Amino acid sequence: MIVISTGPPARARRSKLSAALLADMAVRALREEAQLSPKPGLVDRRGGGAHDDMDLPLLLASAEALRPTFWSIADVAGRMAVGVELREELGRLGRVGEATMLRITRGVNTHRGALWTLGLLVAAAADADDEREAARHAARLATLPDRHVPPGVVSHGERARQRYGVRGARSEAEAAFPHVVEVALPRLRRARTAGLAEEVARLDTLLEVMSLLDDTCVLHRGGLEGLRIVRSGAERVLAEGGAGTDSGHATLIELDERLQARRLSPGGSADLLSAALFLDMVPWPEHVARAERKVLACKR
Ligand SMILES: CC(C)(COP(=O)(O)OP(=O)(O)OC[C@H]1O[C@@H](n2cnc3c(N)ncnc32)[C@H](O[C@H]2O[C@H](COP(=O)(O)OP(=O)(O)OP(=O)(O)O)[C@@H](O)[C@H]2O)[C@@H]1O)[C@@H](O)C(=O)NCCC(=O)NCCS
Ligand SMILES: Nc1ncnc2[nH]cnc12
């Protein structure tokens, strides 16, 4: 069914990626982020980090509970043109997803930020040739108004933005996810090219994002001093050679202890790492075409 929208006319879906596959990749990205260890201040295989209300089984259950939401998002985005109607439908689905998450976690906010970021990217992936195009489409969706946002309590992110004048999850999306596309993905790929083990490459990617992001999750719990500790601490681990060196690893463990002692959790950076893992997993038409051109050139 083609739905008439107030945006540009509906186009046939270019992507051959099914809603089930997109949802599966989004859930896998969340699971892989959660399992990555040792992450400073965050939930991982070792425990709850700076959280006394979360652990790995809870994050994995929360990720799985979001599968139907990601499926519905991919499905609707594959059928509707980018426009206010699609934005409002995504808002509705996102709010249903948040309610499902809170039911499964008994009220703990495990993945609100990740659902926002991955939800927009899943929607955008339905009609993008590569990750940059997906981020631009997602930005366009994030910028569109949603008339059905319920008047509600002021979020932690909103309070941090008002108090410290920083940008948060919404601005990151509206700017086409610079910390995902310009920071995380290049770092992840450079680390792989340098031969680092996948877990080390991912940890160094997380640290790079942590060293730069205005994470409203950190600001909410620790103010500007908390943000300074997180950013400079992550920078120090990277300066010591990263998570894969003895000295970098020791500095990472010290940082983790410091963040746990102060209840500082870089949850926004964790969300953006999952977004990078998702974009890295998608078999983009442009990447497939490039690989095919390479094979053909080798045969000649
Ligand atoms: C636009 C929304 C994301 C709402 O944003 P807002 O900033 O107003 O709301 P928050 O509830 O604060 O959520 C933002 C979460 O985004 C993550 N984040 C933080 N900084 C950044 C950043 N610079 N860039 C990107 N992402 C960022 C972060 O998520 C993680 O932290 C969560 C835990 O946070 P918190 O609730 O504060 O938890 P605790 O500290 O543990 O609380 P206490 O124990 O102290 O009580 C966790 O979820 C991580 O994922 C921020 O928290 C968006 O949600 C929205 O508008 N949704 C409506 C639906 C919609 O339109 N959807 C469309 C697409 S599906
Ligand atoms: N690993 C993690 N720990 C704490 N909060 C998170 N939000 C998303 N991933 C998280």
What is the mean predicted confidence (pLDDT) over 227-256? Answer: 98
What's the rounded Cα separation, in Å, for the pair 179 and 184? Answer: 6
Would 294 be classed as within a structural domain? no
Q: Quick one: which atom of ligand 1 is closest to the CA of 90?
A: 63
Average pLDDT of the residues in 57-84: 97
Nearest CA to ligand 1 atom 16: 113
Q: Using the predicted structure, report yes or no on whether residue 7 has a pLDDT greater than 60.
A: no
Whole-number pLDDT of residue 126: 82
Residue 150 has pLDDT above 80, yes or no: yes
Label residue 15 by pLDDT band (50, 70, 90). low
Q: Residue 38 has what DSSP assignment?
A: S
Tell whether 91 is covered by a domain.
yes
Residue found by looking up tokens 């590569």 in the block: 130
Q: Which of 265, 269, 274, 278 most suits a substitution to test ligand 2, by most atoms within 8 Å of the C-beta?
A: 265
Question: 110 CB contacts (<8 Å, ≥6 apart)?
Answer: 54, 58, 59, 62, 101
The minimum-distance atom of ligand 1 relative to the CA of 69 is: 65
pLDDT tens for 246-298 read 999 999 999 999 999 999 999 999 999 999 999 999 999 888 888 888 888 88
The predicted structure's pLDDT at residue 294:
86
**Residue 242 in domain:** yes
Does residue 166 form part of some domain? yes
Task: Provide mean pLDDT across the span 91-101.
Answer: 98
Residue 248 is assigned to a structural domain of this protein: yes
The CATH number of residue 82's host domain is 1.10.4200.10
Shortest CA distance to 269 belongs to which of 106, 130, 147, 117? Answer: 117
Q: Is residue 129 part of a domain?
A: yes
pLDDT for res 8: 43
CB 119 within 8 A of CB 97: yes
Range(s) of the domain holding residue 76:
19-36+52-147+155-283
Judge if the beta carbon of residue 203 lies within 6 A of ligand 1. Answer: no
Tell me the ipTM for this assembly: 0.97
- The kind and range of the H/E element at 74 are helix 67-79
Share of the chain above pLDDT 70, in %: 95
Examine residue 178 and say whether the peptide bond preceding it is cis (omega within 30 degrees of 0). no
172 lines ligand 1 (CB under 6 A): yes
> DSSP for 103-165?
HHTTS--SSHHHHHHHHHHHHHHTT-SSHHHHHHHHHHHHHS--TTPPP-PPPHHHHHHHHH-
74-100 mean pLDDT: 97
Residue 214 belongs to a domain: yes
Q: Is the CB of 170 under 6 A from ligand 1?
A: yes
pLDDT digits (tens, 9 = 90+) for 98-130: 999 999 999 999 999 999 999 999 999 988 999
Residues 152-162, mean pLDDT to the nearest whole number: 90
* Ligand 1 center to 290 CA (angstroms): 36
According to the model, what pLDDT value does residue 13 have?
53
- Measured in Å, residue 113 CA sits from the centre of ligand 1 at 4
DSSP for 168-227, written as a single string: -HHHHHHTT-HIIIIIIHHHHHHHHHTT--HHHHHHHHHHHHHTT---HHHHHHHHHHHH
- Judged against a pLDDT cut of 80, whether residue 299 lies above it is answered with no
| C-alpha torsion 77→110→267→217, nearest 10 | 100
The overall average pLDDT reported for the chain is: 94
115 close to ligand 1 (CB < 6 Angstrom):
yes
Domain count, the chain: 1
Ligand 2: list residues with CB < 6 Å: 33-34, 42-43, 49, 51, 54, 59, 111, 114, 265, 267, 270-271
Selection from 194, 203, 192 nearest residue 248 by Cα: 203
State the pLDDT at residue 289.
Answer: 85
257 touches 215 (CB < 8 A): no
What span, in angstroms and rounded, lies between the C-alpha atoms of 204 and 277? 13
Query: Angle at CA 223, nearest 5°, toward 221 and 224?
Result: 145
In a domain, 42, yes or no: no
Q: What number is the average pLDDT over the span 32-51?
A: 98
Give the mean pLDDT of 239-250: 98
Identity (one letter) of the amino acid at 170? Answer: R
Ligand 2 atom closest to the Cα of residue 44 is 1
